[in-house]
Amino acid sequence: MIKMSESRNLTHYLVNELGSAIVKGDYSIEDGLPSEAEICERYEISRTATREAVKMLSAKGLIVSRPKKGITIQAKEKWNMFDTDVLNWILMSTPSLESLRDFTQLRLAIEPEAASLAAKTANESDIKRIETALFRMRKAEEGLDDALDADIEFHSSLLLASQNPFFIQLRSFIETALRVSIRFTNQLKGVPTANFSDHNAIFLAVVARDPEKAHAASRKILIEALDLIEHQL
């Protein structure tokens, strides 16, 4: 049996193998995946585990399996990009400036609106959470905390403060994408580490209950990042 020490179990191992292979483009849409039987052979895994992996991948929108037709790959538009597994596979397989831009464009849609909502509806514990993250960012500037973790926590806490379940659910998405794409942003010349005062401006606007200002402050950060990326393209 193949090494799979990293994975929780055989099914998850296979989900990862097939999922990343599909996203990488190892299987064409016309040909689809090999049949269940072939997958079993190739990975030396029972049909039970194989079928469970297939079910998980079809639940994520990557594939569809039908009797006689076999396992076919879905059009990219059907993939659940907001599933953290799928997103991970995509970012890992094709870590490009284009996908970084796509991701930042989405953040530009989401985060200013979330900041605006937060300024309207954040409660005390929400605000305290944002403040804590901001404090971590300040310490990170002095090298006393991890800059990426602090940055993620800040943006995540703002989404949480929006009180909107859809925005809240995007926290894991943002976290995943930030973690993967950080290597690229770091390689862009002149990309500053997350600027404390810019982030502080969002916090102050939220505390002041000023949605427009919070929106603008959040937008400022992301527009700068986006300009930088598009300048490189």
Partner DNA sequence: TTGAATATATTGTATTATATATAGTATGTT
Partner DNA sequence: AACATACTATATATAATACAATATATTCAA
Residues that bind a second copy (CB under 8 A): 11, 15, 48, 51-52, 55-61, 76-83, 102-103, 105-106, 108-110, 112-114, 117, 164-169, 171-172
| Nearest to a second copy of 171, 213 (CB atom) | 171
H or E, element range at 158: helix 147-161
Strands 63-66 and 70-73: antiparallel
| Nearest to DNA of 65, 172 (CB atom) | 65
Q: Which class for 182: exposed (0-12), middle (13-18), buried (19 or more C-beta within 10 A)? A: middle
| Nearest to a second copy of 23, 140 (CB atom) | 23
Least distance (Å) between residue 33 CB and DNA: 7
Least distance (Å) between residue 30 CB and a second copy: 21
Q: What is the DSSP letter of 28?
A: -
Of these partners, a second copy, DNA, none, which one is at the site of residue 128 (CB under 5 to 8 Å by kind)?
none
CA separation for the pair 75, 192 (Å, rounded): 37
- Which pair of tokens denotes residue 225? 């990042």
Residues that bind DNA (CB under 7 A): 1, 9-11, 35-37, 44-49, 51-52, 54, 65-71
Q: What angle do CA 157, 162, 165 make, to 5 degrees?
A: 100
Per the CB < 8 A criterion, the answer to whether 148 and 182 are in contact is yes
| Nearest to a second copy of 42, 76 (CB atom) | 76
CA separation for the pair 127, 123 (Å, rounded): 6
Least distance (Å) between residue 139 CB and a second copy: 26
Of these partners, DNA, a second copy, none, which one is at the site of residue 166 (CB under 5 to 8 Å by kind)?
a second copy
